[in-house]
A = this chain, B = another copy of it.
């Protein structure tokens, strides 16, 4: 990972930590991806040679930076959905500052609707980091859009196990290699056969 991206990641991760510490309401927190989890998805995206990466939940763009840096290495790009215009504009500036704009397309759209509109079997890596209780309502699209051999990663498997449980059940039913990698807030992972 190059120095410019790392410097931007450090700055945004620290700013988010300061911001969240001052928020009483959970929904006001930015809850950006933790560095250990970022490093994991960065490596995984490259390990599977992911070129078509979809992220649900741009938030402030921290996860987008990790994924976009991986996409630059694979020659791919990240399609990132969020419904919060202020957050996504902020994330777009951050991505530009890191020199990664060519590898990111932001869409101000509900993630579930966005997934439903994607073609079958076109996504190499799907990263879910949005309102966790909504994930099951998006079925079957999270699985349908993945290519054979594509991987799904969902954040917060250890920080919010009860909210993630219905997703886990769907993954065990529909995908393989389902497990939780205990980095950051816990990354639930699975692979499409």
CB neighbours of A47 from chain B (8 A): 44, 47-48, 151, 177, 189, 191
Structural contact, A177 and B40, CB atoms closer than 8 A = no
Q: Which of A81-89, A97-105, A126-134, A179-187 contacts B (4 or more CB under 8 A)?
A: A179-187
Task: Tell whether, in the assembled complex, residue A149 and residue B73 are in contact, meaning their CB atoms are under 8 Å apart.
Answer: no
20 A-B pairs with C-beta separation under 8 A:
A36-B181, A36-B182, A39-B181, A40-B181, A42-B177, A42-B179, A43-B181, A43-B189, A44-B44, A44-B47, A46-B177, A46-B191, A47-B48, A47-B177, A47-B191, A48-B48, A49-B149, A70-B177, A73-B176, A181-B181
How many Å lie between the Cα of A36 and that of B181 in the bound state? 7
CA distance A59 to B48 in the complex (A): 28
Copies of this polypeptide in the complex: 2
B179 near A43 with CB under 8 A, answer yes
- A150's nearest neighbour on chain B, judged by CB, is B47
Q: Which A residues fall within an 8 A CB radius of B?
A: 36, 39-40, 42-44, 46-49, 70, 73, 149, 151, 176-177, 179-183, 189, 191
A43-B73 in contact given A36-B182, A149-B49 (Cβ < 8 Å): no
Q: What is the predominant secondary structure among interface residues of chain A facing chain B?
A: mixed
Other than A43-B181, A46-B176, A181-B181, give 20 A-B pairs with Cβ distance below 8 A.
Answer: A36-B182, A39-B179, A40-B181, A42-B179, A43-B177, A43-B179, A43-B191, A44-B44, A44-B47, A46-B177, A46-B191, A47-B47, A47-B151, A47-B177, A47-B189, A48-B48, A70-B177, A73-B176, A182-B183, A183-B183
Closest to A125 in B: B47
Query: Complex Cα distance A180/B179, Å?
Result: 19
Task: Give chain B residues whose Cβ lies under 8 Å from the Cβ of A181.
Answer: 36, 39-40, 43, 181, 183
